[in-house]
């Protein structure tokens, strides 16, 4: 019964992460995140029984999913790469699932709460002051500095 509780916790936590991403228009949403979270939980359960190498294989698989999310929408006309945040959240979802699967519910819950905070910080009154995107127009970026150096040589 404890295994089913771990699996259920992984499902609920990662579904919530996916729900947030779907609300924000991400190409991956609640079902994708829940699938990855449940798979991560099962992999975490298997790894507890001595198959530690399976965790590294799972991380590689999640990396491929994340890469597909990044390159699916591609680069916008403004030169901005889309999907990186969702790809990172997918990795977080797999790790939350693995933590729940390995029997670390508080760790899984805390990680989910922090991931949600990170994803929503730019939308929360008061905390949005911590979003660097609000200030980026005031600073030169590295590409501008690189161009200036090339023009002076």
Q: Three-state DSSP class for 29?
A: coil
pLDDT at position 83, please? 75
The whole domain housing 90 covers: 2-148
Q: Determine, yes or no, domain membership for 52.
A: yes
What is the Cα Rg of the chain in Å? Answer: 18
pLDDT band at 139 (very low <50, low <70, confident <90, very high): confident
Q: Determine, yes or no, domain membership for 56.
A: yes
Give per-residue pLDDT as tens, 75-104: 556 555 667 888 889 889 999 999 999 999
Distances 59 to 37, 56, 65, 88, 107 between C-alpha atoms, Å? 12, 5, 10, 12, 18
Q: Determine, yes or no, domain membership for 153.
A: no
Average pLDDT over residues 15-21: 95
Give per-residue pLDDT as tens, 103-121: 999 999 999 999 999 999 9
d(CA 72, CA 91): 17
């Amino acid at each position: 019964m404890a295994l089913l509780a771990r699996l259920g916790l992984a499902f609920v936590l990662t579904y919530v992460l996916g729900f947030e991403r779907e609300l924000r228009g991400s190409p991956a949403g609640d079902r994708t995140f829940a699938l990855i979270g449940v798979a991560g939980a099962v992999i975490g359960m298997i790894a507890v029984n001595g198959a530690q190498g399976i965790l590294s294989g799972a991380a590689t698989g999640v990396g491929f999913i994340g890469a597909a999310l990044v390159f699916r929408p591609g680069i916008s006309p403004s030169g901005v790469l889309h999907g990186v945040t969702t790809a990172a959240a997918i990795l977080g979802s797999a790790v939350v699932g693995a933590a729940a699967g390995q029997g670390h519910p508080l760790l899984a819950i805390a990680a989910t709460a922090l991931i949600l905070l990170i994803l929503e910080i730019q939308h929360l009154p008061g905390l949005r002051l911590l979003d660097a995107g609000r200030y980026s127009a005031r600073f030169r970026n590295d590409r501008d500095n690189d161009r200036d150096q090339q023009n002076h040589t």
